[in-house]
Structure 1
Amino acid sequence: MIHYFWPIVISFLLLVFIVIPAVVIWRLSLKVPEDAGRRRFLKKAALYPVGLAAAIGYGYGYERSHTVDHRYGISVPAGAFPEGYRLAQISDVHLGKFFSVAELRRLLERIVADGPDMLAITGDLFDDESQNLAAAQLLDEYVDRFPDGIWYCLGNHEHFRGITEIKRFLSATRVHALYNHAEQVPGKSFWVAGTDHPMIRETEKFRQLKEEYFAKTIEDIPEKERKSTIVLAHHPEFIDNAAAAGIPLTLTGHTHGGQFGIFGLPLFPVFKYTRGMVRLGDSYGYVHVGNGSWFPCRIGCPPEVAYFEFRG
C-alpha cells in the first residue's frame, strides 16, 4: 500500500498558497531594475492561487454534493445469476460534519427510486459516534425497500469509531453485515461474501492478513458455486484475491477515486486500483469513488451510485 496521497495534496497547497506568493513578495522587495519578462511571469504566477481557490470553491460548494449514476452490465455464465438481476453500490459515506443521517436518507431514497434488487455498502459509513446508531436504524428502516435487502462489509473507519459498538448496532438490524464470511441470498442460488479491512500498514503483513481474511471469507462457499458469488471488500486489492478464486464480481471502495481527477482519471493514482472497473480474465472488480468525504472537496471525481446488471 502507498500512503502518500495527503502529503502530496498538502505539499501542492503549500506550494501554491505560500511558496509562490512568498517568492513574488521577496522579488518585489528587491531593488532591481524593472524587467518586462519577469513582470509578465509574476502576473501569470499570481493567477495560480486564484485558480486554485476557484477550483476548491467548486469542489466544496458543488461537486461533492452532486451525485452521479454509473451503470454497468456484467457478463456471467448462464445460470450463475438471475438474468437482469440489478444491484446498487454505495461506499465511503463517512458520516460526520460533511455527511448527515438526513443526507443518507436522501441518498437511499434516490437509490430506491431506481428499483435495484439489492443494495451493497462497502464500508466507511459509520464514522461519527454521535450518528452511528441513528444510521444503523435508518438502514434497518430501508431493508424492506430492496427485494433482497442491504448487505454490508466493514471499512477501516469503522475500526476507528468503535468497531464493537458498531457491530452491536448492526446486530439489532436486518442488514446482512458480513465479517469475513459469506451468506447465500435467501431464496436465491447465489452468494454474497464480505471481508473485513486488514488494519496493518506494513505492506507484506497487510498482504498476508488480506489473504487470511479472504480465505476465511469464502471457506463456506462450495467451489463450484464461486462463479455465483459477489464479494464485498473495502480495500480494492481484494479484487486480485477474488479473481484468483474465480469470483465474477468484487465491489470495493476506500480510495475515494483519488478525490481529484481529470478526464475521468485520478490525479493522484497512489493505489494499485484507484477508480472504476477492473477486468482480470473473466472476473470484474469495481472501485467505488465514495459518497462522502472527511476532506470536503471533490474535483473531477463526483460522488456516485454504481449499478450493476447481470447478463448471460
Structure 2
Amino acid sequence: MFWAMVITFLAVIFFIIPTVFACIIYRKIPVDKNKRRFLKGVTLYPAAMAGGSAYGYHYERKQQVKRYYDVKFPQGKALSGLTLAQISDVHLGKFFSLDNLRNLLKRVAEDEPDILVVTGDLFDDVEMNPAAAQVLDEAVDLFPKGIYFAIGNHEYYRNWGRTLSFLKKTRVHILVGRAEKVPGTDLWLAGAEYSFARDDESFEQEKAALTQKAVKDIPQEELKQTILLAHHPEFIDDGAALGIPLTLTGHTHGGQLGIFGLPVIPAFKYTRGLVKNGDSLGYVHCGNGSWLPIRVGCPPEIAYFRIRP
C-alpha cells in the first residue's frame, strides 16, 4: 500500500495537477495551433509543474491551520466544555525539526485546550526521538489535563522500544493498548495499537481485537464517556461498534493533495475530516508533517474538539 501511495502521489504532482493548471490557462490562449503546441510542449506544463510543486513545498506544507468542532456526548453533561486538541503525523526528521515541534505545541496551546492528544507518527527519526520526548515533556504544563500519546506505524519503524524508554521518563500519558481516565473528569481516553495485518479479513479481526484490548479496563457503562485514539482511520468503525462517541485518527495526511476540500486520490476508506458512523463520530486528521514534503489543497492542521452534552 505504501509504494502504491507514493506512485499515486508522484503521478498527481507531476501529471494531474500540472495538467489541470495547464488546461485552465491554455483555454485563455488565442487560437494559434503553432503557438499552442509550443506553449504546451515547452513552457506551460513545466511551468505549472514547477509552480505547483514550489507552492506545495515552500508555502502550504508550513501553514498550520486550526479547525474547531463541537462534539455531542450522550452522557456529556459532566464533561461539557472540556476541550481536546489533536495533532498527528508530525514525522519528525528532515522536514520537521525540533524547533518546528516546539512552535507547533505553543501554537496548539494558544487556544487553551484542556488536553492534547497525539495520534501517532510523531517519532520518526531515531537520532531526534529522545530530544522530541523531552520537548513533549516540557509542553505538558501548557495543557492542564496533560498530553496523551497513541502509537502510529512509524514509531515501530524507528526503534519504538528505545523511544518508549525515553517517553516513560516524561509526564506524557502513553496509551498503547490501554486506557486511562483523565484526572478530575469522567472522561476516558483509550489508545489502540497499530494493525500491520495485510489481507482484509486479518485486518478487520486484528483491529477489532486491538480496540478491545485498548478499552478492556473501561466499564461497559462508561464507554459513552470515552474517546478512542487510533492511528489508522478504519478504527473509526470499531469505536462506533462499541458505542464510543468519538474516535480520533490520522495516518492518511488527508491525502496531502486536494481540490475544493476533497482528496485528489481517496486511497483510504476515510481520508480526512469528520466521519458519521451511526450515533458515533470519527475524525481523520490531515497531519502536521509530511512523508513527502509537498501539500496542495490540504494544509497541515490543528483540530480542537469541545465536548457538549
Whether TM-score is above 0.5 comes out as yes
Deviation at 1:3, TM superposition (A): 6.2
User: Alpha-carbon deviations, 1:268-307, whole Å to 9, x = none?
Assistant: 1100000000011221100000001121110000010000
* Alpha-carbon distance in 2 for matches of 1:90, 1:10: 25
- 2-side partners of 1:285 and 1:4: how far apart? 25
CA shift for structure 1 position 14 = 6.0
- Among candidates 44, 51, 54, match of residue 51 of structure 2: 54
TM-score (norm 1): 0.90
Q: How does 1:105-124 map to 2 (within 5 A)?
A: 105-124=102-121
Partner of 1:6: 6
CA offset at residue 13 of structure 1? 5.3
Match of residue 266, structure 2, among 256, 266, 269: 269
Distance (whole Å) between structure 2 residues aligned to residue 247 and residue 79 of structure 1: 12
Matched, 1:66 2:58: no
> 2:285, 2:301 within 8 Å by CA — same for their partners in 1?
yes
Tell me the equivalent position of 2:181.
184
Supply the distance in 2 between the matched residues of 1:220 and 1:3 (Cα, whole angstroms).
Answer: 37
- The answer for the alignment partner of 2:209 in structure 1 is 212
SS at match of 2:190: strand
User: In 2 relative to 1, CA 296–13 (structure 1 residues): closer, same or farther, beyond 3 Å?
Assistant: closer
TM-score (norm 2): 0.90
Offset, 1:78? 4.3
Query: 1:231-264 CA deviation, whole Å, 9 max, x = no partner?
Result: 1000000000000100011100000000000111
Q: 1:45 to 1:72 in 2, by over 3 A?
A: farther
Give deviations 1:64-83, integer Å, cap 9, x for gaps.
11110000010122445511
Asked whether the equivalents of residues 76 and 308 of structure 2 are also in contact (C-alpha less than 8 Å), the reply is no
Is 1:291 the equivalent of 2:279? no
Give, in angstroms, the shift of residue 61 of structure 1.
0.4
| Displacement of 1:157 | 0.2
Structure 2 residue matching 1:236: 3-state secondary structure: coil
SS at match of 1:8: helix
Corresponding residue of 2:251:
254
More displaced stretch, 190-199 vs 44-53? 44-53
Amino acid of the residue matched to residue 36 of structure 2?
A: R
State the one-letter code of the partner of 2:111. D
1:8-87 equivalences in 2 (<5 Å): 8-12=8-12, 37=33, 40-46=36-42, 47-79=44-76, 81-87=78-84
1:126 maps onto 2:123 in alignment: yes
1:147 and 1:216 map into 2 onto residues whose CA distance is 27
Aligned length: 294
* Counterpart AA for 1:252: T
| Offset at residue 6 of structure 1 (A) | 1.5
Q: In the alignment, what sits opposite 1:137?
A: 134
- Runs ≥4 residues deviating over 3 A: 11-16, 36-39, 78-81
| 1:224 to 2:221 alignment | yes
Paired residue for 1:200? 197
Q: Distance in 1 between matches of 2:41 and 2:308?
A: 53
Q: Which residue of 2 aligns with 1:24?
A: none
Structure 1: distance between partners of 2:7 and 2:291: 16
> Which residue in 1 is equivalent to 2:155?
158
Give distance in 2, aligned partners of 1:70 and 1:216. Answer: 31
Q: Check conservation: 1:3, 1:270, Cα contact below 8 A.
A: no
Alpha-carbon shift at residue 111 of structure 1 (Å) = 1.3
Identical columns (%): 54
Q: Deviations over 1:162-211 (max 9, x none)?
A: 01111111111111111111111112112000011112333322222111
What secondary structure, in the 3-state scheme, does the structure 2 residue paired with 1:291 have? coil
Cα 1:58/1:245, change in 2 over 3 Å = same
Cα offset for 1:39?
5.4
SS class of match (2:79): coil
CA contact (8 A) 1:258 1:274 kept: yes
Structure 2 counterpart of 1:106, which letter?
N
Once residues 14 and 79 of structure 2 are traced to their aligned partners in structure 1, the CA distance between those partners, rounded to angstroms, is 52
The answer to whether 1:237 aligns with 2:234 is yes
Distance 1:124 1:285 in 2: 19
SS at match of 2:203: helix
Q: Which runs of 5+ in 1 are unaligned?
A: 17-35
Structure 2: give runs of 5+ residues left out of the alignment.
17-31
SS in 1 for 2:135: helix
